[in-house]
């Protein structure tokens, strides 16, 4: 019951304060903090060209959080606002978990994304995210696992 009240409260806060702008990143970060119950310092959000994202992240990615650069989140510029916001909530969740305990539970990050979409009345997108593990997939690259946010 407590969780349901918390989700409803967060949803109302997000709906009442939602307007997309650069300052919206703060509300997305607050949403991730509240969903995970982890507090932290907001990351730097770096919007870059597709070429830069390929260089920093991987060819198949639209965004990434790198553990070797733990204060930055990189995301491709020019994407749909809903995709940007849902992706940022997921990567901010990864960022918070990593900085809190050097471990990432991708299910928690995915659930935060789904809850964000539901709170924004994006029910169909939330269903798609949930069904596809939030667009995440793992590939093997020279015996190294890489988590991808699919294009």
Alpha-carbon gap, residue 4 to 140, rounded angstroms: 38
Structure confidence at residue 144 as a pLDDT band (50, 70, 90): very low
First-to-last C-alpha distance (Å) of the chain: 36
Mean pLDDT of 1-21: 46
Alpha-carbon gap, residue 131 to 83, rounded angstroms: 16
Q: What's the pLDDT tens digit per position in 43-59?
A: 999 999 989 988 988 88
Q: What's the pLDDT tens digit per position in 15-34?
A: 433 334 445 788 999 999 99
Alpha-carbon gap, residue 94 to 105, rounded angstroms: 8
Tally of domains within the chain:
1
pLDDT at 7 over 80: no
pLDDT at 4 over 70: no
Domain holding 96, by residue range, is 2-149
pLDDT at 84 over 80: yes
The three-state secondary structure class of 72 is strand
């Amino acid at each position: 019951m407590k969780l349901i009240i918390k989700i409803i409260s967060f949803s109302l806060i997000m709906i009442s304060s939602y307007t997309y702008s650069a300052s919206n990143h703060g509300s997305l970060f607050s949403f991730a903090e509240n969903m995970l119950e982890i507090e932290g310092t907001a990351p730097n959000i770096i919007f870059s060209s597709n070429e830069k994202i390929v260089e920093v992240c991987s060819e198949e990615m639209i965004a990434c959080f790198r553990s070797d650069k733990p204060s930055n989140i990189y995301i491709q510029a020019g994407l749909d606002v809903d995709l940007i916001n849902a992706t940022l909530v997921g990567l901010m969740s990864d960022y918070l978990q990593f900085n809190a305990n050097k471990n990432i539970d991708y299910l928690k990050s995915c659930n935060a994304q789904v809850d964000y979409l539901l709170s924004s009345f994006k029910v169909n997108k939330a269903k798609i995210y949930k069904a596809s593990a939030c667009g995440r997939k793992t590939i093997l690259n020279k015996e190294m696992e890489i988590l991808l946010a699919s294009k």
